[in-house]
Amino acid sequence: MSDELAEKVQSVIASSKRIPREQVSLDSTLESLGMDSLDQLNLLFALESDFNISIPDEEAKSIRTVREMVEGVRKLVAGASGQAAATA
């Protein structure tokens, strides 16, 4: 299944941490990518900017893996477009 959103999230992670895209897989943990607390803040900022979403603190705290991050972003993007459709 082609999954543009998952691909984009992984690219954002790679560019935010300044590591090669190939190092990032869905099964990677943020910790295994060498991301400390500040790197994770930078990543959340990059994702919020690139996807035009707002990631709540509590949900952000529970995320450990790239896959969880992808699913978290997917949910927020769906929520945002759902809202846009409702107001359109």
Partner 1 sequence: MTMVPRRVAVTGLGAISALGQDVSCFWNALIAGRPGIGRITAVDLSNIRFQNGAEVRDYDPAQHFEPSQADLLDRFAQFGLIAARQAIRDSGIVLTPELRQRTAIITGSSVGGQSTQDTQFWAVYHNNSPRVHPLTIPRIMPNAGASHISMEFGISGPAFTVSTACASSNHAIGQAFWMVRDGAAELAIAGGSETPFSFGFLKAWEAMRVVAPDTCRPFSRDRRGLILAEGAAMLVLEPLEVARARGAPVYAEIVGFGMSSDAGHITTPSIDGPARAMQAALRDGNLNAEAVGYINAHGTGTPSNDPTETRAIRQVFGAHADKLAVSSTKSMHGHALGAASALEAIATILALRHRTLPPTANFTTPDPECDLDVVPNQSRPAEVEYALSNAFAFGGLNAVLAFRRLE
**Residues assigned a catalytic role:** 36
Residue 74, classified by CB atoms within 10 Å of its CB into exposed (0-12), middle (13-18) or buried (19+), is: middle
9, 24, 33, 44: residue in contact with partner 1 (rule CB under 8 A): 44
Judged by CB under 8 A, does residue 45 bind partner 1? yes
Judged by CB under 8 A, does residue 41 bind partner 1? yes
Site residues (CB under 8 A) for partner 1, limited to 49-88: 54, 56-58, 60-61
4, 20, 27, 37: residue in contact with partner 1 (rule CB under 8 A): 37
Single-letter amino acid, residue 74 = R
Query: From its phi and psi, is residue 52 left (phi > 0), alpha (psi between -120 and 50) or beta?
Result: left
